[in-house]
A and B are shown apart, each in its own frame.
Chain A
Amino acid sequence: MELLGTVVVLTIKSLIFIIGMFLGAAYLTLLERKFAGHVQQRPGPLHVGPHGFLQPIADALKVLTKEDLVPDSVDKVLFYLASLMAFVPAIMILAVVPFGDPFTIFGVEIKPYITDLNVGLLLALAFGSISIYGVIFAGWASNSKYPMIGGLRKAAVLIGYEVALGFALVGPIMMAGSFSLREIVEAQQNMWFIIPNILAFVVVIFCILAETGRTPFDVQEAEAELVGGYVTEYTGMKFGLFPLAEWYIATFVLSAITVILFFGGWNPLPLMGWLPIPAFVWFFIKVFLLFMFFLWVHWTLPRYRVDQITELAWKVMLPLALANIFIVAIWIIIFG
């Protein structure tokens, strides 16, 4: 009976998370378009619904009812699988991301996370890596030149930065002594982990930009070079899943993990703990600020060439991440 209850609660929670993320991601597109608009001195979506508020709904309706065109020359199985492979892992990471401390409403304890695994961070990394397959599949299955080049470029970038990202995350794990994201947050009640881990934070920022394909690392769908990169041949919602997964869900989730690892998760800002703000609100404020930072970078910088990106990954980011481990080890010996 207890098991059944757990299953039901987990199912409901997962549904809430997934639907919430879907809607959230849809509105993140609006957020980005508005943000880009204001950066570029124009209003952004304005006339669809009040102040453009229904724009994502219109886009979703259109994309969902578009003809589902599959070119003759594609490898059909992989072609379908690719968009799922890109999307599902991104949303799966949510399973281990906590959004706050457990709290009690009307005598019921609510945990704002699906599960608190003791290897949560590892799982997140693993799921993140799976999405590479989605990209390679998309590039290969399209049986077309531009998607092929785009997919291979993205794969080259991802492999480089996954390694650096993995090493950069070691620092906070060493300090917290746990892979569980919740425990990492609890370990930061007195001091955020960014203080000794500043190098790791820089590496993580670069890695997130690279993994989510934002400028200066958006080589895989550089419009001027490759039309649409690996998504060139995709139509309708099969196409829609890629940017949704990459640009919005992945960016959001990775921002959340960064906040958890370096900025104390849902712990309030220093000296502001007396404010009557719930924990998850603190968390979302931090995540959104970080998300906005990525948008800001995206709409400002030009892009690197792909060989320059991989060069940066292996020659700069990986050594930095390793140096960070060294620094943190010394820090732990001295203070810990």
Chain B
Amino acid sequence: MQLWIDNQKLETVSERFENINIQKSENFTSIQVEKNQLIQLLKFLKEDLGFKMFIDFFCVDYPLHNPRFQGIYLLFNPDERQRVAVKCWAEGDSLPTITSLWKGAKWAEREAWDMFGVKFEGHENLVRMFLWEGYKYHPLRKDFPLRGIEDTYLPSLNLRPDEKPAHNYSPYHTVLPTMEDLERTQKARIQKKNQIVLNWGPLHPGTHGTIWFLFDMEGEYVKECDIVLGQLHRGVEKIAENLTYTQFIPYTDRMDYISALCSQVAYVNAVEKVLGVEPPEKAKYIRTMMCELQRINSHLLWLGTFALDLGALTIFLYTFREREKIMDIIEGIAGIRLNSTYIRIGGVAKDLPEGALDVITHFINDFPEKLEEYETILTTNRIWLRRNVDLGIINEEDVYSYGLTGVVARSAGVPYDIRMIQPTDAYDRVDFEVPLGRVGDCYDRYLLRMEEMRQSLNIIKQCVEKLKGMEGEKYIATDNPYVLPTLNEVFNSIESMVKDFNLRIYGEQVPEGEVYLSGENPRGELGFYINSKGEGRPYRMRIRSGAFYNLQIFTELIKGRTVADAVVLLGSLDPVVGETDR
């Protein structure tokens, strides 16, 4: 199912604007526009054609082209369910800011500045998004090496003088920031206007990883807030440009490590789309089932840490008890507990082991009771209500302006669920409901996630029923030339061995083109933009992270609230740093 802009609208655009270049293909439709017309076009798309939801903005580097950088804006029309991409060359390495149209572009533009060195005219505070002030390079440029520039002498403290290092160890390392650099980074974000500036994070028990919040506070009330990200920026997008498509699958796990399987499915679907691979029916159901198991797993972790942040210590351990069961199921099926690289291009890595469906059936029969238990302790708890109700209200306008997705968008009543809008795998053949919120506060988001777990159970139940009748069917489409053969085939046939060798060494030779496809992660829309130049590696891979955009609204919602509310708010937005920072 394709969601790109229809021809009628494209005609309207081309009538209105001259000098535009429309590229229409099956997987990606873009309108290329001159820099001076960019704002008008975007405004036209937003106000007249209904593309009011901001999805993503990113840059692509073409070192041999002049101008060098191309900015790509992704927009969505929520009423007619259409996407459109707008491309614009950054003449003079700069682009006009679009933060006046969509507030959500603020961080995306900071990221483009950080990664490519593209300036934005009129941006309110263009600072580095992930790296620190004083860092000399723009790492996603094509001429910057993956390993960075190793110019700092930083040997291991554990290596004895007489010892030979065990691996290819170099005493030189890429540059580390000093404390002064970090202080400068902080000062660039926020100026002290009130009583104290509180550094909440980055290594703080309450910040869900390593997010660094800056609160300018008056008493305990937060007046101004900004967030420093990048404490887990590992350069995943740069890595993607240096690996084959199959090799990149493990990195999708390590981005959103709480919902590894969902990220894998989202990525693999995008690659399959551009390769034209159709996975077998069984693999689709397995993927859907595993995704939903992972969704429950992720929501359980959220519930546990959310309750822990609010002081209910025991819920945390109760949810982890159920998580262990799901982890065991995943370990039994995929072989690894947490970062299970289970999904492959064209199917799944292994068949379901014997008895897996029985274990899952047992779990889905057992789980509603436990869910009831959590709800008994929390849902109508007076304290829980006082902490959650009417806090952090998000309305529909915010959703479109900030590009909020996932539960955060649905709590505001926007029915934005990729599983419904653009069903991949077996989602179009299972029956489920998308719960929507009415108020848009933290309590709504809590209720939605609880309800989503029930819906996920329902989906798993249907998948298990279906899979019971599929025993012995093929779980990976190895007939396709782009799909890695199974181990058994490699050992038994010479053709498969050659194919395996070719694919592993040279990678999948993806035809030239672009694709943007997303999946419904527990944290929001996880989209993959892949730009292929017909090689075994992507020319540019952009990961549109749901948590990145969801977190952005935190700075607005916290204003006038206390630090105690920050915990609740952050918990209800549920970011994962691995995904926001990539």
Contacts of B565 in A (CB 8 A): 305
> How many angstroms from the CA of A299 to the CA of B313 in the assembled complex?
6
Contacts of B378 in A (CB 8 A): 302
> Which of B205, B318, B377, B381 is most buried by chain A, counting CB atoms within 10 A of its CB?
B205
Given contacts A41-B321, A145-B198, A306-B564, A227 and B205 within 8 Å (CB-CB): yes
Question: Which residues from 185 to 231 on chain B have a C-beta closer than 8 Å to any C-beta of chain A?
Answer: 196, 198-199, 204-206, 220
Q: Render B557-569 as a binary contact track against A, CB cut-off 8 A, 1 for contact.
A: 0000011111100
Question: Which residues from 202 to 245 on chain A have a C-beta closer than 8 Å to any C-beta of chain B?
Answer: 215-216, 218-219, 222-227
Could you tell me the distance in whole angstroms from the C-beta of B446 to the nearest C-beta in chain A?
A: 12
Residue from B206, B314, B384, B562 within 8 A of A40 (CB atoms): B314
Given contacts A216-B383, A223-B206, A224-B205, A40 and B311 within 8 Å (CB-CB): no
Q: Which of B27-35, B73-81, B302-310 contacts A (4 or more CB under 8 A)?
A: B302-310
Cβ of B149 under 8 Å from chain A? no
Contacts of A219 in B (CB 8 A): 564
The answer to whether B314 and A225 touch across the interface, beta carbons within 8 angstroms, is no
- In the complex, which residue of chain A has the Cβ closest to the Cβ of B309? A224
Question: Which residues from 28 to 59 on chain A have a C-beta closer than 8 Å to any C-beta of chain B?
Answer: 36, 39-42
Residue from B312, B321, B564 within 8 A of A305 (CB atoms): B564
- In the complex, which residue of chain A has the Cβ closest to the Cβ of B196? A145
Cβ of A189 under 8 Å from chain B? no
The answer to whether A225 and B383 touch across the interface, beta carbons within 8 angstroms, is no
> How many angstroms from the CA of A216 to the CA of B383 in the assembled complex?
8
Residue from A40, A215, A300, A304 within 8 A of B386 (CB atoms): A304
Question: Which residues from 281 to 327 on chain A have a C-beta closer than 8 Å to any C-beta of chain B?
Answer: 299-308
Cβ of B387 under 8 Å from chain A? yes
Contacts of A40 in B (CB 8 A): 313-314, 317-318
The answer to whether A224 and B562 touch across the interface, beta carbons within 8 angstroms, is no
- In the complex, which residue of chain A has the Cβ closest to the Cβ of B562? A305
Cβ of A138 under 8 Å from chain B? no
Number of interface residues, chain B, beta carbon within 8 A: 31
Task: Indicate the size class of the contact surface on chain A.
Answer: 20 to 34
> How many angstroms from the CA of A221 to the CA of B317 in the assembled complex?
20
The answer to whether B384 and A225 touch across the interface, beta carbons within 8 angstroms, is no
The answer to whether B220 and A306 touch across the interface, beta carbons within 8 angstroms, is yes
Contacts of A307 in B (CB 8 A): 562
The answer to whether B312 and A222 touch across the interface, beta carbons within 8 angstroms, is no
Residue from A42, A153, A299, A304 within 8 A of B383 (CB atoms): A304
Could you tell me the distance in whole angstroms from the C-beta of A310 to the nearest C-beta in chain B?
A: 12
The answer to whether B206 and A224 touch across the interface, beta carbons within 8 angstroms, is yes
> How many angstroms from the CA of A224 to the CA of B204 in the assembled complex?
8
- In the complex, which residue of chain A has the Cβ closest to the Cβ of B206? A224
Cβ of A185 under 8 Å from chain B? no
Could you tell me the distance in whole angstroms from the C-beta of A57 to the nearest C-beta in chain B?
A: 25
The answer to whether B204 and A222 touch across the interface, beta carbons within 8 angstroms, is no
Contacts of B205 in A (CB 8 A): 223-224, 227
Residue from B318, B381, B563 within 8 A of A302 (CB atoms): B381
> How many angstroms from the CA of A325 to the CA of B321 in the assembled complex?
48
The answer to whether A302 and B567 touch across the interface, beta carbons within 8 angstroms, is no
The answer to whether A308 and B310 touch across the interface, beta carbons within 8 angstroms, is no
Contacts of B307 in A (CB 8 A): 302
Contacts of B311 in A (CB 8 A): 215-216, 218, 222, 224, 301-303
Residue from A42, A227, A302 within 8 A of B317 (CB atoms): A42
> How many angstroms from the CA of A219 to the CA of B563 in the assembled complex?
11
> How many angstroms from the CA of A255 to the CA of B172 in the assembled complex?
61
- Interface of A toward B, CB cutoff 8 Å: 36, 39-42, 145, 149, 153, 215-216, 218-219, 222-227, 299-308
Query: Can you pick out 11 interface pairs between chain A and chain B where the beta carbons lie within 8 Å of each other?
Result: A40-B313, A224-B206, A224-B311, A225-B566, A299-B314, A300-B314, A302-B378, A302-B384, A302-B387, A303-B311, A306-B220
Q: Which 9 pairs from chain A and chain B are nearest by CB?
A: A303-B311, A224-B206, A224-B309, A40-B317, A302-B312, A302-B310, A305-B564, A302-B311, A215-B311
Known: A40-B317, A215-B313. 11 other contacts (CB 8 A): A40-B313, A40-B314, A41-B317, A216-B383, A222-B311, A224-B206, A224-B309, A224-B310, A300-B314, A302-B312, A303-B311
